[in-house]
Every structure is written in structure tokens, then in C-alpha cells.
Amino acid sequence: MAAKTYFSRDYADARQRFLDAAGAAGAALDARAHPLNGPAGEALFTDLAWLGPPEAERVLVTISATHGVEGFCGSGAQVGWLESGLTREQPAGTAHLMVHAINPHGFAWLRRVTEDNVDLNRNFVDHEAPYPENSGYEALTEALSPRDWDEAVIAESQAALEVFAEANGRTALQSAISGGQYRHPEGIFFGGRRPTWSRLLMEEIFEARLARAQKVAVVDFHTGLGPHGHGERICVHAPGSTALKRAAEWYRDDITSPALGTSSSIELHGCNEVGMEKALAGRELTAIALEYGTIPTPEVRLALCADNWLHHHGELDSPKGEAIKEQIRAAFYPDTDDWKEQVWERAVETLRLALKGLAQG
């Protein structure tokens, strides 16, 4: 079957296809209802599918929609894995836990953030401790979340970012914008002031569902960074750690490390791997984010700023609102056969290597 058929048109479609395919593949299903609804009034869920022995000590975990709208990609890979029959390749004694739409609200509403405007992958900090500072973001708040949104404002904002980049460098600009910030709840890349619904659920999944697991591999699907169609395996395990070494072995050195400066991503505050590691309490974890490029970074940023403006100051149900929704969807989900084919091939290669790594030793 062609890869393009695995991808869905919206959250509701993705959910139904996932449930049907997981059911047909004989998975044990479980669902968690989100307290809010989607834009068409549809109920929202995070769905869990467990394939393989319930007692398995080796578990592959795939996660879609950590960043909501990026869920088209991860859901497509999960549905494809189920529909194509690749589940038959699962080694004996190994389980595969598919977490479908960990941030269903962002997926349904075509937002990268959760219902409370929080970047889930910056939310896993200790909210009782002082928050990390991000002075770069402070300097750019006005440019990144302006009160109005029109061509003049956009041009002014872009100019401000350019001035910052020229003075401080491109990496500093990237860190300022996307490293995470904890002071501006109405800004972008906001890490929150408390654990979000999706974080609490993820911690619960890792604690309860993986209580027996001794070896865990995680593939968390993302989009929006790096060259179009390329799937970068970003590994945030510490430089010099056995986990990073193991990931390099499993994936044949085809991984990158933000801490070592080899990734298209800079180092982040409060990413979900922190929560996974804590929940597994010393048991073996080999986690990667599989990050697919879409369109150039400045355009992705523009879409994020536009969407942020829309949800704080604009009107969803207006021509401008609809145009912005199209813009953000396209920024994180290039709806072309070619891109889907690339996503699918890299996903298959990655999950095969993860299962092989889990099964050895």
C-alpha cells in the first residue's frame, strides 16, 4: 500500500483509523478522555495500543502529537505500522506500546501547544524550583507575540529578529525563541507553570504501563525542523552516557545530539525525556525524537507566531483565522505524497532498528 494512504485529514479521522487498525492487529486498547472538545465539538482522547505480551520486559514506545499539529506525521507512521502488517516483525518477548495523540487538543485544534498554550516538550521541569531564565526571549517578546497581526507588524517583527541574529548569531536566536520560556503565558514556546494534562498522563503511562519493563526504547515523532522530508534522530541523553552510546550503536551512528551541537535542535529546557527517565527510575531507556523537516525555519516560526496571535487576539471563525490555520497545518504537515513517502520510509527503518536494539543483549 502506498504510504500516503496511512495519513489522515484531521484528528478525528486519525483517531478512528488508529483504533480500527490497532483493533485489527489484535492490540489491547485503552483510552483517556481529554476534558475539552475539538473544534467540531468532537471528543478528544489519547489512545493506547499495546501489542505483544502484557508482561514483556522489553518495550518499544512510539508517541505521536507531543506537539499537537505535528501529530499528522506520527499518527501516519503508527497507522502505517499497523495497517502494513509490520507488527508481525515484532520479536518474541517484546511489546510495542503506541501512544496515539498524547496532546489531542493541539492535534485537533491545529496547534503545536496544549490547551493551556503550553509547549509540552518544555513542560517537564520542576515547577517548584526556580525556572530557567531565557534573556534572549525577553528581548524578543514584542516581536514574537505582537498585539496585532498584519503585514506591517510582521515586517517589523522579522526585522527585529534579524537584528538580534546579526548581533548574537543564529544559534542564539534559535535558543532565544525555541529553548523554552516560563515568564510569558501568552508567548510561544511557553513551558507552563504546572504540569499539563498531557504531561501528567505521560508520567502515568510510563509509571503504570511500563512498571515491568526493564528495557524501553522511545521514538517520539516530531515535525518542523531540519531539511524537508529528512527524519533526524535527535537524542538528548547526556554526552558520555551509556544511553547515548547505546543509541549510537542501535541507530548506526545516525543520531544527533543537541548537547554536542550536532543537531538541528538546540538544547531545551524541560523536554519529555526528563519525565521518562524519572518514571523509569534507573531502568534502561533509549529515547529519540524523530524530527522531520517541513519548510524553512523562518516560515515555521512565522506560522507559530500567527497561530499564537490568532488564539489570543484573533477570531478563529474568520477568513484571517482560516488562513492562519491553513498556514500552521502546512508548516507542520506538508500534505504531499513525496513527503509522506519519505516520512514512512525513515519511520520503518527507525522502528526496525529500535526493535532490533531492544531484542539484543
**Contact set with Zn ion (CB under 5 A):** 67, 70, 222
Q: Of the two residues 215 and 222, which places its CB atom closer to Zn ion in the complex?
A: 222
- Residue linked to cell 510495542: 96
Q: Of the two residues 70 and 83, which places its CB atom closer to Zn ion in the complex?
A: 70
Closest residue to bound Zn ion by CB: 222
d(CA 219, CA 354): 8
Q: In this structure, how many other beta carbons lie within 10 angstroms of the beta carbon of residue 23?
A: 13
Which among 96, 21, 106 is positioned nearest to 72, based on CA atoms?
106
Q: How far is the CB of 222 from Zn ion (least distance, A)?
A: 3
Within 13 A of 319's CA, how many CA atoms are on the CB side? Answer: 0
Is 190:113 a contact under the CB 8 Å cutoff? Answer: yes
Which among 231, 200, 204, 237 is positioned nearest to 218, based on CA atoms?
237
Q: How far is the CB of 14 from Zn ion (least distance, A)?
A: 16
Q: Of the two residues 146 and 293, which places its CB atom closer to Zn ion in the complex?
A: 293
Q: In this structure, how many other beta carbons lie within 10 angstroms of the beta carbon of residue 180?
A: 25
Beta bridge partners of 228: 293
Q: Of the two residues 173 and 271, which places its CB atom closer to Zn ion in the complex?
A: 271
Calculate Rg over the CA atoms of the chain: 19
State the pairing for strand pair 215-228/28-37: unpaired
Q: How far is the CB of 119 from Zn ion (least distance, A)?
A: 9
Q: Of the two residues 70 and 277, which places its CB atom closer to Zn ion in the complex?
A: 70
**5 exposed, middle or buried (CB, 10 Å; 0-12, 13-18, 19+)?**
middle
Q: How far is the CB of 161 from Zn ion (least distance, A)?
A: 20
d(CA 308, CA 314): 9
Q: How far is the CB of 251 from Zn ion (least distance, A)?
A: 19
d(CA 8, CA 344): 13
Q: How far is the CB of 66 from Zn ion (least distance, A)?
A: 6
Q: Of the two residues 70 and 115, which places its CB atom closer to Zn ion in the complex?
A: 70
Q: Of the two residues 47 and 70, which places its CB atom closer to Zn ion in the complex?
A: 70
Q: How far is the CB of 178 from Zn ion (least distance, A)?
A: 10
